[in-house]
Amino acid sequence: MENNQNNQRVVAAGSGQTAGAGSDRSAWPLWEIFIRSKQGLDHKHIGSLHAADAAMAIENARDVYTRRMEGVSIWVVESKYVHASNPDEAASFYDPANDKVYRHPTFYDLPDELKHM
């Protein structure tokens, strides 16, 4: 509910999912869903859904996103709590990495005879 009272637009890290600045106060808030597909792997953003509270969001996420055993663990985060970088500023924001090719192993010119490196 608070989600829609906020006029700021909220973006989830995984998808850039935006919660519309809607007007309906009665609507259930939006949740971003993250699923671990098997032990040893990261939780990955999979989508979003509306639910009245966290428990319902987890149950709905199970029904919507794991009907074919796609998950062993679910995280839900109310969309309004996700903060994201601004795509309009991407050029300057990521600029510091642009001129540092020496951070990559292929930058270094070594003889082919050199093994195990």
Partner 1 sequence: MSLIEFETTFQDKVDQDIRIEPKDWMPDAYRKTLIRQISQHAHSEIVGMLPEANWITRAPTLRRKATLIAKVQDEAGHGLYLYSAAETLGITRDEMIGQLHSGKAKYSSIFNYPTLTWADMGAIGWLVDGAAIMNQVPLCRASYGPYARAMVRICKEESFHQRQGFEILLVLSRGSEEQRRMCQDSINRWWWPSVMMFGPSDDASPNSEQSMRWKIKRFSNDDLRQRFVDICAEQVKLLGMTLPDPDLKWNEERGHFDFGPIDWEEFRNVINGNGPCNKERLAARVKAHEDGAWVRDAALAHAQKRAAKEGQEAA
- Which residues contact partner 1 by CB under 8 A? 1, 4, 9, 11, 15-24, 26-28, 30, 47-50, 52-53, 56, 63-64, 67-68, 84, 86-88
Closer to partner 1 by Cβ: residue 2 or 112: 2
Residues 50 and 30 sit within 8 Å (Cβ to Cβ): yes
CB 76 within 8 A of CB 61: yes
Shortest Cβ 100–partner 1 spacing (Å):
23
Q: Which is nearer to partner 1, 48 or 75 (CB)?
A: 48
Nearer to partner 1, 24 or 103 (CB): 24
Tell me the C-alpha distance between 78 and 39, whole Å.
24
Shortest separation between residue 84's beta carbon and partner 1, angstroms: 7
- The helix/strand/coil state of 35 is strand
C-alpha dist (Å) from residue 93 to 18, 21, 86, 90, 112:
21, 26, 9, 5, 37
Least separation in angstroms between CB 39 and partner 1 = 22
The least distance separating partner 1 from the CB of residue 51, rounded to whole angstroms, comes to 8
Closer residue to partner 1 in complex, CB, 38/44? 44
Reference 46, options 32, 26, 67; nearest CA is 32
